[in-house]
Amino acid sequence: MGILDFLTGEFIDVIHWVDDTHDTLVWRFEREGHAIKYGAKLTVREGQAAVFVHEGQLADVFTPGLYLLETNNMPILTTLQHWDHGFKSPFKSEIYFVNTTRFSDLKWGTRNPIILRDPEFGPTRIRAYGTYTIKVTDPAVFLREIVGTDGEFTMDEISYQIRNIIVQEVARVIASSGIPVLDMAANTADLGKLVSAQILGTLAQYGLTMPELYIENISLPPAVEEALDKRTSMGLAGDLGKFTRYSAAEAMTAAARNPAGGGGMGAGLGLGMGMAMAGQIARPGPWGGAPSPAQAPQPQAPAAAAPPPPPVEKVWHLAENGKTRGPYSRATLGRMAADGSLGRDTFVWTPGQDGWLKAEEVAELAQLFTILPPPPPAG
């Protein structure tokens, strides 16, 4: 390189970056020999940050604004200050532009099904997918931990790792949520916020944040969906007898309307099914029409209804001084209450009762103590 070429290369630099790729996270300003000239102008636009690296060490981070690189306290040296090194600066300086805007509409999804215990279906598998947004919040950490010396770092280079983090947290949150599969569609917004909150700590170690995460769909395996559809159809069918007759009528109509390849047979089949159904409803005689008197059903006397079984009378056991006695009927207990051998504090138990209770705590026996005898007759 001649002296004229060298002097031509020492004009004031204008350092800036205009991104038109929409997927670049970091771009390194390329300068011959990585030499930043004295007095260079650095322009950092909104949605950007500039990271200054000098001799391999991160020196400073510039936020949006215009900077004149000419102060001596900055680690910036130019080739004009080192003529004794053969017009070459031994100090290597680099500037990395970092895109700090949101990268939106990024896709994620579970590659393998998530196994969970559903309170209604039992052990089952589900899949989930959605979108998320990502943003660089700490350019220095992001450059140091992720980018390194890559001169052009795109979103594709880190999206795979972020998707793995999302899927791991989605599987953990959904499996431990306890929400039934049929109710998850109504809780996708809350699940998305919960997953995003769990991921923020991990992404902060990379200098990133996740402003939004959406769960667009949670689906069941095809076999489970088919069983669920059958269950829904049975619920819609209601009375299976009516549903069967309706299906037969639909099949008869479809067969009668089919003119291709055997319309006559279809019509005959439809006619036969119609006659069979008509026969089932009207019950005709052997030659059609109304049933003959001999075949007509004869009225029968209604069968006498059997009386219901007699009610089972409750019996009660008493507990006194660690011993039990009984069983006694309620009538017997009424006489015992009258003569004082059954008190309000006497513990009683009957089959079906949860443990021993005081007699006054049992509604059926408390009435025995509220009925007072009439006053004695006057002498």
What are the residue ranges spanned by the domains of the chain? Answer: 3-99, 103-220, 226-255, 316-369
Question: Helix, strand or coil for residue 130?
Answer: strand
Q: What is the distance between the alpha carbons of residues 250 and 248, in angstroms, rounded to a whole number? A: 5
- The CATH architecture to which 103-220 belongs is 2-Layer Sandwich (3.30)
Question: Helix, strand or coil for residue 40?
Answer: strand
> What are the C-alpha distances in Å from 168 to residues 31, 131, 175, 198?
42, 15, 11, 10
Q: Are strands 114-118 and 122-136 parallel, antiparallel or unpaired?
A: antiparallel
Instruction: Give the pair of three-digit tokens for residue 350.
Output: 């009957």
Instruction: Kindly give, in sequence order, each residue whose CB lies less than 8 Å from that of residue 121, ignoring residues fewer than 6 positions away.
Output: 181, 224
pLDDT truncated to tens, each residue of the chain (379 aa)? 444 444 444 445 788 889 888 889 999 887 766 667 767 788 999 999 999 887 778 888 899 998 887 655 454 443 334 434 333 343 467 889 999 999 999 999 988 888 888 887 788 888 899 999 999 999 999 988 888 878 888 898 888 889 999 999 998 888 888 888 888 888 888 888 889 888 999 999 999 999 999 999 888 878 777 877 777 776 665 566 666 776 777 777 777 776 555 444 455 555 455 555 545 544 544 444 455 555 555 666 556 677 777 666 788 888 888 888 888 888 888 888 888 888 888 899 888 788 888 888 888 888 787 765 656 666 5
> What are the C-alpha distances in Å from 68 to residues 15, 78, 273, 275, 307?
10, 14, 94, 99, 107
Closest Cα to residue 63, out of 139, 146, 115? 139
Q: How many CB atoms lie within 10 A of CB 26?
A: 23
Q: What is the distance between the alpha carbons of residues 25 and 142, in angstroms, rounded to a whole number? A: 10
> What are the C-alpha distances in Å from 350 to residues 215, 222, 311, 341, 362?
56, 53, 16, 18, 10
> What are the C-alpha distances in Å from 364 to residues 70, 111, 314, 358?
100, 64, 10, 12
Q: What is the distance between the alpha carbons of residues 102 and 132, in angstroms, rounded to a whole number? A: 10
